[in-house]
Amino acid sequence: MSRLVARAAAAAFCALSLSGCVDSAGPVLPNAKPLFGERLRLQFYTLHKGFADEPEQASFKWDGARYVHAGGAMSDVTAFTAHPFEANSYIIQAAAAKRPHIVEYAIAHKLAEGVYQVVAVDEDDAKGAASAHNCKQVDDSHCRIVTRKQLFVFARATAARHKDEGGLVLRLANDSEPRR
């Protein structure tokens, strides 16, 4: 699982491979938009048993197709996109430097304005038959998907679990934004 999702899901939004993480050989959610503006500053915390720890900040810049790492910590996360999902949530589609052609997924659930809990989309959250039918074990992947429909099966199962682990992500004001 990439560090962004591990940190955002353990600290937007997968470089350490963990069993159960859902990935694809390329993005399955096309036509991303800069939902959070052109520039994005984020504060990440690891969540473990409901407690936040290990703070890190990173900045990202929209390049016309995705948010790319522009500075700060989390340099192993090269890029991500966010896509509206269900019930005040987003699906995060992330690329990691150590696996540049592999895309991994997380759910970012909005808790308050600018505050999100992020959890890796995990094949173990789906029931056995649904999991076996919708993913294949390929190379270093425990669950490789190829379609949006397959992603949604796992994303819905993960969202339904209401986990207290993953990550907490705060959207920070950009230096150029006026403070309120």
The per-residue pLDDT for range 71-121, each reduced to its tens digit, is 998 877 789 999 999 989 999 999 877 887 899 999 999 999 999 999 999
Q: What pLDDT score does 4 carry?
A: 45
Whether 178 is covered by a domain: the verdict is: no
Q: What pLDDT score does 127 carry?
A: 78
Whether 177 is covered by a domain: the verdict is: no
Two tokens at 46? 């690891």
Whether 11 is covered by a domain: the verdict is: yes
Q: What pLDDT score does 129 carry?
A: 63
Q: Which domain holds residue 111?
A: 3-171
Q: Taking all residues of the chain, what is their mean pLDDT, rounded to a whole number? A: 83
Reported as a single tens digit per residue, the pLDDT across 18-75 is 446 899 999 999 999 999 999 999 999 998 887 888 899 999 999 999 999 999 988 7
93 alpha-carbon distance from chain centroid: 6
The count of structural domains within the chain is 1
Reported as a single tens digit per residue, the pLDDT across 13-29 is 433 334 468 999 999 99
Q: What pLDDT score does 64 carry?
A: 96
pLDDT at 178 over 80: no
